[in-house]
Amino acid sequence: MRPDPRPRLLVVAFSPLRSDARVLRQVGLFRERYAVTTLGYGEAPDGVVEHLRLPDGVVAWHKDRRLLAARRYETAYRRAPVVRAAEELLAGRRGRFEVVLANDADTLPLGLDLAPPGGLHLDLHEYASRQSEESWRWRVFVAPYYRWLLLRYGHRADSVSTVGRWLAREYRREFGLVAGVVPNAAPWADRTPTPVGSPLRLVHSGLARRGRSLHVMLDAVRATRRDVTLDLYLMPNDPAYLAELQEAARDLPQVRFHDPVPPDALGDALAGADLGVFVLPPVNFNYRFTLPNKFFDFVQARLGIVVGPSPEMADLVRSHHLGVVLDDFTGEALAAALDDLGDEDVAGFKAAAHDAARALSAEEQVRGWVRAVDTLAARVNG
């Protein structure tokens, strides 16, 4: 059997890969031209030549608190259960991958240990040192660890990307990292906007996490004078919070909770709605400057979009005339916006999403990854 002539690319992420939309886009982008090996949780993504599966029982974020408190950060990293499990899976692989694509700061030292001859590209999904800064424990114990990690290892990455312009600016200011921007764009979908419904159909998809203040949408449905429905496709990350939301919506028959759907089926689920809604109070840096998967999912579903005054999303909504940017992050502001919208406004937003769908698709937005990885591979293969 002839050896695979394609460059060998390792994509590593400490996440369940088949439900990590950003990592799946990386795999889908490179699996034809590269021999892609993945390392992460869960089953193998489609199209890879090999998958190194992390044990399900190993918790990705577990670190020794005593080592963090003592600021023994190198030891804390090397003793983290997920790092040890990954090292076992990668034993004997040093120099075997031409390029490593490391997702998030936690995978960076591990990827560098492999000494890929082409180099390593680091993709930072969020702002690592400010992910949960609303928690004092995070600020005191965890944030300094991530600052150390990026200051110690970040400059050794051959290229870097992140999800938005504001995060890229902050990575450069704080750590001197020059990061390209690759948003969490969804693949282009060949759809036509549906007529505006009566009642007006609202939809939201994502994580059922307390800090995301999903009750704001329930407050708006309760307060608006407009006849609306709200469909929620929520991942049960916090089952207790999801149960609270369901209890809070018992008097709102127009609110429907659905089981989550896989990324490749989400577009069809969303496309029956009129407006995608995401109102995220800025309780931390990442929330303030969020530009999530769901924004681009809404575009590909040909929906109008309603967001709070989050700069990254607001800029795109305004520049492409996709919908409404609220004055604040409250249910009252959302209800007032719904009251003011006419059907012709919503139809115009859906038409604008259709016009912008190609430009805001993954096929256009992921070129930064292509340039970065191809440049590194060319170091080895001429």
Per residue in 203-227, pLDDT (tens digit) is 999 988 888 889 999 999 999 999 9
How far is it, in rounded angstroms, from Cα 156 to Cα 119? Answer: 9
Q: Can you say whether the dihedral through the CA atoms of 350, 321, 325, 316 is positive or negative? A: positive
- In the numeric block, which tokens belong to residue 176? 């001197």
| pLDDT at residue 140 is higher than 90 | no
* The residue count for the chain: 382
Mean pLDDT, rounded, of the chain: 94
pLDDT band at residue 247, thresholds of 50, 70 and 90? very high
Q: Rounded mean pLDDT of 363-370?
A: 92
Q: Which range has the worst mean pLDDT, 111-115, 193-197, 234-238, 250-254?
A: 234-238
> In whole angstroms, what is the distance from residue 241 CA to residue 257 CA?
13
What is d(CA 377, CA 163) in angstroms, rounded to the nearest whole number?
23
Does 199 sit behind a cis peptide bond, omega within 30 degrees of 0 on the bond before it? yes
- Compute the half-sphere exposure of residue 254: CA atoms within 13 Å on the CB side of its CA: 19
Does residue 5 have a cis peptide bond before it, meaning omega lies within 30 degrees of 0?
no
Q: What is the dihedral of CA 282, 284, 289, 290, to 10 degrees?
A: -90
Mean pLDDT of 19-37: 94
Q: In what order do the strands lie in the sheet with 35-41?
A: 50-53, 35-41, 8-16, 99-103, 119-124, 159-162, 179-181
Domain 8-182+366-381 class? alpha beta
Could you please state the CATH topology (level 3) that the domain comprising 200-356 is classified under. Rossmann fold (3.40.50)
pLDDT at 3: 81
Contact between residue 306 and residue 346 where contact means Cβ atoms under 8 Å apart:
no
Confidence of residue 1 (pLDDT cuts 50, 70, 90): low
Euclidean distance between CA atoms 119 and 184, whole angstroms: 23
Residue spans of the domains in the chain: they are 8-182+366-381, 200-356
Beta bridge partners of 11: 38, 101
CA distance 376 to 166: 26
> Across residues 134-152, what is the average pLDDT?
90
8-182+366-381 and 200-356 in the same fold: yes
Tell which residue, 72, 69, 70, 60, has the closest CA to residue 149. Answer: 72
Q: Which residue has the higher pLDDT, 381 or 175?
A: 175
**Cα(first)–Cα(last) distance of the chain, in Å?**
25
